[in-house]
Amino acid sequence: MIELSWTLFALQASGALALIWLLGALARQAATMTAEVELQALERGALAADAPFVTIVVPARNEERNLAPCLETLIALDYPKFEILVIDDESSDATPQVVAEFAARDERIRPVQLATIAVDDRSEFRSGKSFVLAQAARQAKGEWLLFVDADTRQRPDSLWRAMGFCQAKGLEAFSSSGIYPNPSLLGDLLESAILIAVFLSVPLRQVNDPSDRHHGWANGQFVMIRRDVYESIGGHGALRQWSFDDMSLGRLIKEHGIPFRFLPGGALFDCINYVGLREAHDGWVRLVAGGTPWLGMGRSFFVASLLGIFLAVLLPSVLLPLSLTGVLVDVAAGPVRLSYLSGGVLALAILIQAINRGAMKVPIWRAILLPLAALLAGRALWQGYRARFSAGDFMWRGRKLEVDDVSKVSDVVAAHGGPLYPEGA
């Protein structure tokens, strides 16, 4: 029994080292996020007087639950010139009626039925969203395009801040993440835990480095791009062979050398990604299985993530009560006992999660439920691993999608004339 306790002591010490590494990695990532501060510090006067006309594109398929609150926030945007193009993708619920009601209230809203404008063959697109957006963009009148999802709730200052930031930085494309509350306790726990692994996996320095052409990231819930630039790279029509419309668009933008920034802490909108644990689990299995190829994350990412969850959260959650009650021998190395070590590791893990939840602007107190959150996140990661490496595909909204082959990006770029800008631009 003593030998077992010493083995567990060594494993728990490894968990402590993993948490120390995690703190350093989080700090390094956070240090790259200075542009978010600049974005939020912008004054309304930073937007040029001749602000460009913007077409906001909202794809909608059976979005009666989300569309009305989304459109309420869009028509309330503090921006001088914009239109809202809502593309109904053959909805079977009340989505068309919701759009019609808002269009009657505000002339800036243009409802469009996909069936009346479709030019491309839908069967050629692996992503239904890419197909819809490719058709919608042809109807736009704006100098800039802003693609948003129907489950987002835009903040009144989101558009002028994004445009003002682009003008100040000389950008031609921009993307931001938002704030992600989940009304379900278990769904919230899953998302807050797994987002740590996602945050660490994003190569932020390279994504926002204009000289780097091979690391891209865009969040499809808020992507803004100059229309002429969008058309010159083929737009969403160039993404027909990929399942992930936003990740592939972000990569395409970077491969073409377009001046671009992605702000994971932009907080320009609120979004309830998923309602409930089932939606959150299925959604994150899809994101993990389909998103990791675009980040260059292989099996080692999954192994490290699952091992970290075990050593830093699950193991101390078991060792602490067992060592305190005497079920395990509470061995000690100098003043450090097994119970002290496991308690310290668990406390540090909960503190890190509390900081993470504070940054996410979700209830901090739920950090004490980290062991349950870790189990839920580990389950999603494991099923994401199986979907990617065993099955090679995943299910999403009733459709089976294959894992993307990211090696084809350079071929698509070459087909559209290669980089638009010289090296180092």
Residue range 33-184+202-277 forms a domain whose CATH class is alpha beta
pLDDT attached to residue 414: 78
In this model, does residue 32 exceed pLDDT 50? yes
What is the value of pTM for the model shown? Answer: 0.91
Does residue 90 carry a pLDDT above 90?
no
Mean pLDDT, to the nearest integer, of 82-95?
A: 92
Mean pLDDT, residues 69-82 = 96
| pLDDT of amino acid 422 | 60
Rounded to an integer, the average pLDDT of 321-341 is 94
Q: What is the pLDDT of residue 410?
A: 80
pLDDT digits (tens, 9 = 90+) for 163-182: 999 999 999 999 999 999 88
Residue 188, pLDDT above cutoff 60: yes
C-beta atoms surrounding 76 within 10 Å? 10
Amino acid occupying residue 376:
L
Residue 413: the pLDDT is: 81
Strands (E), 136-259: 144-148, 152-154, 173-176, 222-226
Domain layout of the chain by residue ranges: 2-29+298-393, 33-184+202-277
Residue with tokens 């559209």: 416
- 226: β partners: 144
Q: What is the pLDDT of residues 138-168, one digit of tens each?
A: 999 999 999 999 999 999 999 999 999 999 9
User: Kind of pairing, strands 260-263 and 269-271?
Assistant: unpaired
Q: What does residue 178 show for φ and ψ, rounded to 5 degrees? A: -125, -155
At residue 425, the pLDDT reads 47
pLDDT tens per residue, range 202-261: 889 999 998 998 899 999 999 999 999 999 999 999 999 999 999 999 999 999 999 999
